[in-house]
Amino acid sequence: MMLSFYILFLVFGIPWTSPTTIKSQNGFTPCEFYPDCQCNKDNESSLYIADCSGLNMTQIRKFPNIIVKLTLRMNSLNEVKNGTFFENRLLRTLDLSFNSINTLWPSSFIGLEQLTELDLQQNSLSRKSLTYSVFASFQSLVYLNLKGNFYQEFQPNISSLVRLKTLKMDFAYKETTILGKQLSNLKRLMRLDLSGFTGNCSIIHLTPQTFQYLPQIHHLNLSMCKIKSVQKGTFDKMKNIISLDLSGNTCLKFQVLENVTIDLQFSAIKILKLNKIHKVFDMNTYLQTSHIRHLNNTAIEEFHLDSNRLQQIESGALKYFPKTLKYVSTRDNMFSIGPYLYDLMSMSIELFDISDMFKAHKEDRHPETCNMNFVCTWHREAQYNENQNIQMKELLFESGQHYHDDNAVTIIPIPYRLKTLRFRSSDSKYKIAAVTLSNNKLERIDVSNNILSQLIGPLKNTKNLKYLNLSSNVCSNISTFFFSPDFNKLEELLLGNNLLGLVLPSDTFGQIFQNLLNLKKLDLSENRISILPNQIFKSQRKLEILDLSSNFLEKIDFKLSHLSHLSYLNLRNNLLTFIDSHTILGINHIVNMSKNLSINLLENRLVCTCSSESFIKWIGSTSVQLVNKYHTFCQLSTGKRILMINIPEIYKRLEKDCTSYEVLISVLVVTILLFFIVLILGFSYRFRWKLRYFYYMVKIRSRSKIPQIDEDENEYMYDAFVSYADEDRLFIHTQLLQTLEKENGIRLCLHKRNFLPGNDIATNITSAIHNSRKTIVIMTYHYLKSYWCMFEFNMARMESIYERNNENVLFLVVFEQISARDFPLHILEVVQSQSYIEFPNDEQGDVVFWLQLVTALK
Ligand SMILES: *[C@@H]1O[C@H](CO)[C@@H](O)[C@H](O)[C@H]1NC(C)=O
Ligand SMILES: *[C@@H]1O[C@H](CO)[C@@H](O)[C@H](O)[C@H]1NC(C)=O
Ligand SMILES: *[C@@H]1O[C@H](CO)[C@@H](O)[C@H](O)[C@H]1NC(C)=O
Ligand SMILES: *[C@@H]1O[C@H](CO)[C@@H](O)[C@H](O)[C@H]1NC(C)=O
Ligand SMILES: *[C@@H]1O[C@H](CO)[C@@H](O)[C@H](O)[C@H]1NC(C)=O
Ligand SMILES: *[C@@H]1O[C@H](CO)[C@@H](O)[C@H](O)[C@H]1NC(C)=O
Ligand SMILES: *[C@@H]1O[C@H](CO)[C@@H](O)[C@H](O)[C@H]1NC(C)=O
């Protein structure tokens, strides 16, 4: 066995121990020609993509001419020797970024006539190395990245790169300057990225001359360029410009917008980014009509105004945005309510992002020093009617703290085409009372990470809503009517990280979610839920994903058998010990219908004990996928936690343990029962006579047919009851009767003569013994054999013990010789302890015998 394994190992290697496979993710394997690098071979062309990044290389070795794309990123290269790539005529993309290259020679790139992309960013190239002849080698270059190289005022002469479409480089000048004339050669240049985010950029003043040689540009990125002013006419010639990014130039302020937008009108502009053109701690800002008026003459689609401390917008200004505008991002601003909200409704935007309102800020690390401070001037212009503002507030939002009129319905204006509204992390503290949205096409709303602590509602006119994110809102109450019937299209509802454990357990009739008939995904994670009522998901027949992770569930109480589309049930990080058989039935029901259900039970308190036996059995056999099954722990009855790796084995062991346990219990129970039965039987046998005696005594007394004897007078009905076997009757009826009754006047009770007819014999015996002073026993072998005689004997014994204070009642007459061996034990005892007389059966002895008998009875 071991041997065959070993041979297998030699022949195939064991795949999961081989390091090759670990590195070969994404199809990369060590290159045949240079194993330190990772290669990916394209099967059609037999050419390689080689990745030699992060290898601390100091020299570029020669590579065979079978590579189309070579990455030498993040090494320690400091020069590219002449002719290094002479043979690599097939190379199309070369990445030399993040090295320390400071020297390039005129023939460094010779041979790369076909190269289309060259990345040299973040090196130490300077004026000396970036000569005209270095670039002259390239005839096909389309993409060139030179960022993070030169920190001094320098523009490389790249006029030979006539096919270049994308240029990224530093542009750091202390004084106003223009982009070199050599760029006018680059007729195909579309994209110019000078952004200071990824390199060094400093263009103090933009004038109509700055970009005079680049009228054809499509995409211009001037973010973080320390721009202080933009003169009218700067972008005037760029009729093809599609995107313009002026973000991060904190000295520009909104006042620059007029000069920019006036140039952009009638251009092809689609994307305008003006994020953070104010400083972090500037005064709050006011967007005026004049700033954006000219955009009316564009077909702009995206407009970004993030991080501008924007608080108010001039009434009517928004109407100048053309109908083409689809996406507005105004994140991280300080909006207050104003009449501009009415203008919103007429905007044609589809995506509106107003997240991160009132976010806390840190001052910039290196704040720019701006020449002048225009910011205060807007205050005068911006005075809007305070009264109007209050009315707006009343109309639009009801802040729970101020407002308590529950009947007031708030109408929120929504741009009529808006599909996505993002209002995340905005510190908004509202109790959502009755709210109706204006007519809308909203499909997605994200209001996560606010403080919407009470969702009372109803929220109406959400007829198109498919996605609603209400997570992280410290929400502790959802009313049963918050989700109005208008929510019937909702497919995804995220309520994670709230406090719904306070309200969901009391939703006994499943009213909260009852209108969400199309819900496919429901996230209730991190809500401190300890229990979910049976009916809570009664309407969610289409539910596919249910996330209940990170709650306090100890057991699953809610009904789930009707969730036939369920494909993922996340119960991670709860307090479950096992899944009860009722829920298992429900899950099996789902599996039978969809055959595709995963359950996550990680980080629970699963136990592998006798109580969870059937659960373990189910886990081992079910077709439900357990997420990360082999990382699920369960606790044994000994307290030890084990990984549930081999479930059938765990079950087998459990089955054995629990069976022997069961057997033990049943054996114990039976034993105890038997013990008690034996005990009872033993006792009743031991005290059989006593019990019988009392039984008959009770019977006699209750019938009281036999006259009661006056105990005080100590008088009995008979002097003696004669107990004898029928076989000995001759002696009794002749001698005994004759001698005792006739001659000596002793009243005898004989069963033949004195028993009351009609009474049963046992009662008769007992009562006769009871009513006689003595009981004479005529002991013979016949006597010992007779059942009734034994009865009489024992009853007399009981009588003497329980009724006569141990006074001797029995008078034994041993009529014939009986050997001691033949006496039953209890008779022998009496025979030995008590006086008895033997019947002598001779003339003289008889006289003495009768004398003794008479004396004893009188
Ligand atoms: C760039 O170099 C070429 C060739 O040496 C020269 O003709 C041209 O004038 C240079 N352009 C600039 C702006 O220096
Ligand atoms: C250029 O950028 C580097 C790193 O980003 C920085 O150290 C350097 O000071 C910058 N130079 C100028 C002139 O901005
Ligand atoms: C401009 O460059 C910055 C930094 O690379 C980038 O974040 C930004 O998205 C670019 N702007 C545009 C419009 O592409
Ligand atoms: C707008 O352009 C005019 C004329 O070119 C210029 O005087 C003014 O300073 C510019 N405004 C800003 C804010 O740059
Ligand atoms: C915007 O321009 C269009 C024509 O291009 C014009 O009809 C419309 O009235 C303008 N809008 C405003 C608010 O001036
Ligand atoms: C939740 O809101 C409803 C409706 O306003 C209210 O009746 C109920 O008392 C609230 N429950 C809690 C726990 O605050
Ligand atoms: C099973 O569900 C998963 C998602 O949980 C899905 O990706 C997969 O396609 C489904 N498979 C079948 C056969 O339905």
Q: Tokens for 136?
A: 């002259």
Pocket probe for ligand 3: among 119, 221, 227, the residue whose CB has the most ligand atoms within 8 Å is 221
- Measured between alpha carbons, how far is 815 from 728 in angstroms, rounded to an integer? 9
Q: Is 767 helix (H, G, I), strand (E, B) or coil?
A: helix
- CA–CA distances in Å: residue 338 to residues 275, 287, 388, 417: 22, 12, 8, 21
Q: Which secondary-structure segment (H or E) carries 582?
A: helix 581-594
Residue 660: phi, psi to the nearest 5? Answer: -60, -35
How far, in Å, is the centroid of ligand 5 from the Cα of 617?
A: 73
- Report the nearest-CA residue for atom 6 of ligand 4: 231
Contacts with 422 (C-beta within 8 Å, 6 or more apart), sequence order: 351, 352, 353, 354, 355, 446
Which residue(s) pair with 642 in the sheet?
634
Index of the ligand 7 atom closest to the CA of residue 567:
5
**Residue of the nearest CA to atom 12 in ligand 5?**
320
Beta bridge partners of 94: 70, 118
Rg of the chain in Å (alpha carbons): 54
Give the distance (Å) from ligand 2 centre to CA of residue 562. Answer: 63
HEC assignment per residue over 613-630: HHHHHHHHHCCCEECCHH
Residue 378 has what pLDDT?
Answer: 45
- Residue 433 Cβ inside 6 Å of ligand 6? The answer reads no
Task: Please say whether the beta carbons of 599 and 627 come within 8 A.
Answer: yes
Q: What is the pLDDT of residue 24?
A: 47
- Give, rounded to a whole angstrom, the gap between the first and last alpha carbons of the chain: 105
Alpha-carbon distances, residue 793 vs 27, 783, 784 (angstroms): 107, 10, 10
Cα distances (angstroms) measured from residue 405 to each of 103, 399, 435, 576, 708: 75, 11, 13, 43, 94
pLDDT digits (tens, 9 = 90+) for 500-549: 999 999 999 999 999 999 999 999 999 999 999 999 999 999 999 999 99
**Is 651 or 393 the better-scoring residue by pLDDT?**
651
**Closest among 786, 843, 854, 853 to 813, alpha carbons compared:** 853
Residue-range domains of the chain with CATH: 686-857 (3.40.50.10140)
Ligand 7 pocket check for 567: Cβ under 6 Å: yes
DSSP 15: G
The pLDDT mean for the chain works out to 86
- Mark residue 307 as left, alpha or beta (left: phi above 0; alpha: psi -120 to 50; beta: remaining): left
Give 202's pLDDT tier (boundaries 50, 70, 90).
Answer: very high
| Residue 787 confidence (pLDDT) | 86
| Atom 7 of ligand 1, residue of closest alpha carbon | 159
Instruction: Evaluate: CB of 479 within 6 angstroms of ligand 6.
Output: yes
Q: Which ligand is nearest to the CA of 166?
A: 3
In this structure, the number of other CB atoms found within 10 A of the CB of residue 223 comes to: 23
433 vs 407: CA distance, rounded Å: 9
Tell me if residue 318 falls in helix, strand or coil. helix
Least confident stretch, 15-19, 133-137, 698-702, 826-830: 15-19
Check pocket membership of 596 for ligand 7, CB cut-off 6 A. yes
The enclosing H or E element of 802 equals: helix 787-802
Helix and strand element counts for the chain (H, E): 20, 46
| Predicted pLDDT of residue 704 | 61
Ligand 6 proximity of 456 Cβ (cutoff 6 Å): yes
Residue 843 has pLDDT above 90, yes or no: no
Q: How many CB atoms lie within 10 A of CB 824?
A: 10
Q: Is the pLDDT confidence value at 341 over 90?
A: no
Tallying the residues shown for the chain, one arrives at 858
> What residue type is assigned to position 431 of the chain?
K
Of 276, 282, 300, 408, the residue nearest 349 (C-alpha): 300
For residue 78, pLDDT over 50 is answered with: yes
The secondary structure of the chain in percent helix, strand, coil, rounded to multiples of 5, reads 30, 15, 55
